[in-house]
Amino acid sequence: MLTIQGHQFHDAPLTSLDIHPGGAMAMTGGEDATSRLVSLATGKVVGALRGHQDSVECVGLCDGLPFALSGSLDGTAILWDVHSLSVRHTCAHEAAVTSLRWVPGTCTFYSGCGGGKLRLWDGRTGLCVRTLTGHQDAILDLWASPDGRQVITSSDDGTARVFNVV
């Protein structure tokens, strides 16, 4: 068993976790408003991502490019360059970013927020490609089909919705 903790890790409770599809790296988010990239072979922190003003609630690692995502209660999703540990884009939302999901094999991702909106983003440009509505309260989680054409969301409004994205 490998335990990741201590110096250079989070100073507050963890809120989110993702593992790269290749299995070599994990990404964590915490209430300390940061994310960490961690080697699963050694348990060592290989990078600290600082840029949010509030708790990081969701994280995600891209399978095709060296990109990572973090979403925060501060109403932003930050797209990170994993190699340089720098911000590529900051994607503004009207409320807390509560869920993120890369479309497999692409540079696009979905975000869900406290305002109940689902957005599709182009990770290369940081531009919102599409906004989908239907929920009356915060989106808590989302799943995107492998081709990105169908997204299922769950919400504080007591519903799950299936969005067919063309």
Q: Domain with 77 in it: what CATH number?
A: 2.130.10.10
> Would you say residue 100 has pLDDT above 90?
yes
> Would you say residue 117 has pLDDT above 90?
yes
| Helix, strand or coil, per DSSP, at residue 80 | strand
Question: What is the rounded distance in angstroms from the CA atom of residue 71 to the CA atom of residue 112?
Answer: 9
Q: At 157, list the tokens.
A: 């409004």
The mean per-residue pLDDT over the stretch 94-123 comes to 95
Summarised one tens digit per residue, pLDDT across range 35-88 is 999 999 998 999 999 999 999 999 999 998 999 999 999 999 999 999 999 999
Q: What is the pLDDT of residue 6?
A: 67
Is residue 6 included in any domain, yes or no? no
Supply the range of the domain harboring residue 75.
14-164
Is residue 48 included in any domain, yes or no? yes
Is residue 3 included in any domain, yes or no? no
Is residue 7 included in any domain, yes or no? no
At 148, the pLDDT band (50, 70, 90 cuts) reads confident
Closest CA to 51 of 40, 36, 39: 36
The mean per-residue pLDDT over the stretch 151-164 comes to 97
The mean per-residue pLDDT over the stretch 89-117 comes to 96
At 92, the pLDDT band (50, 70, 90 cuts) reads very high
At 141, the pLDDT band (50, 70, 90 cuts) reads very high
Is residue 118 included in any domain, yes or no? yes
Question: What is the rounded distance in angstroms from the CA atom of residue 131 to the CA atom of residue 11?
Answer: 35
Question: What is the rounded distance in angstroms from the CA atom of residue 38 to the CA atom of residue 24?
Answer: 9
The mean per-residue pLDDT over the stretch 3-13 comes to 83
Position 63, amino acid: D
Compute the residue count for the chain.
166
Is residue 132 included in any domain, yes or no? yes
Domain count, the chain: 1
The mean per-residue pLDDT over the stretch 102-125 comes to 95
